Amino acid sequence: MFGLDTLGKAVGQLVNGFETNVRQGQQQLEKALGDAGVLDAATLSTITEMSDAYRTMAEDLLLHPLRFAGAELDLARKHAALGYYTLARLVGKHKKPVVEPEADDRRFQAEEWHKHLPFDVLHQAYLINSQAFLNWAAGMEGIPPAGRDQMLFYARHLTSALSPSNFPATNPEVLRITWERKGMNLIDGGRQLIEDLRQNPSLFNVGMTDRSAFEVGRNLATTPGKVVFQNELMQLIQYSPTTETVSKRPLLIVPPWINKYYILDLTARNSFIQWLVNQGQTVFIVSWRNPGPSLRDKGWEDYMELGPLAAMDAVTEATGEDQMNLIGYCIGGTLLGSTLAWLKKKGRNPVASATYLTTLLDFSDPGGIGVFINDHSIRGIEKMLERKGYLDGRAMAFTFNLLRENELFWSFWTNNYLKGQKPAAFDLLYWNTDGTNLPARMHSYYLRQMYLNNRLVKPDSLNLLGESINLSEIDVPSFFLSARQDHIAKWKTTYKGALAHGGDVRFVLSGSGHIAGVINPPYKEKYGYWTNDTLVPDADAWFEKSEHHPGSWWPHWLEWIARFSDGDVPARIPGEGKLPAIEDAPGSYVKVKAAEAVKQ
Cβ-based burial of 92 (10 A; exposed 0-12, middle 13-18, buried ≥19)? exposed
Q: Dihedrals φ, ψ of 229, to 5°?
A: -160, 150
Helix (H, G, I), strand (E, B) or coil at 91: coil
The answer, yes or no, to whether the previous bond of 586 is cis (omega within 30 of 0) is yes
Buried b (16+ CB within 10 A) or exposed e, 162-201: ebbbbebebbbbbbbbbeeeeeebbebbeebbeebeeebe
Which phi and psi (to 5°) does residue 361 adopt? Answer: -110, -35
Question: Is the distance from CB of 156 to CB of 181 less than 8 angstroms?
Answer: no
Which residue intervals of 347-434 are DSSP H helices?
375-388, 393-402, 405, 411-413, 427-433
Residue type, 321: E
Asked if 85 and 122 touch (Cβ cutoff 8 Å), the reply is no
How far is the CA of 570 from the CAs of 311, 409, 567, in angstroms? 22, 49, 11
Specify whether 330 is catalytic. yes
Decide if 410 contacts 163 (C-beta within 8 A).
Answer: yes
Map residue 599 onto helix, strand or coil.
Answer: coil
Q: Which of 128, 330, 442, 489 is catalytic?
A: 330
How far apart, in whole angstroms, are the C-alpha atoms of residue 596 and residue 600? 7
Burial zone of 6 (CB within 10 Å; 0-12 exposed, 13-18 middle, 19+ buried): exposed
429: number of Cβ within 10 Å: 19
3-state secondary structure string, 424-478?
Answer: CCCHHHHHHHCCCCEEHHHHHHHHHHHHHCCCCCCCCCCEECCEECCHHHCCCCE
Q: Which residues are catalytic?
A: 330
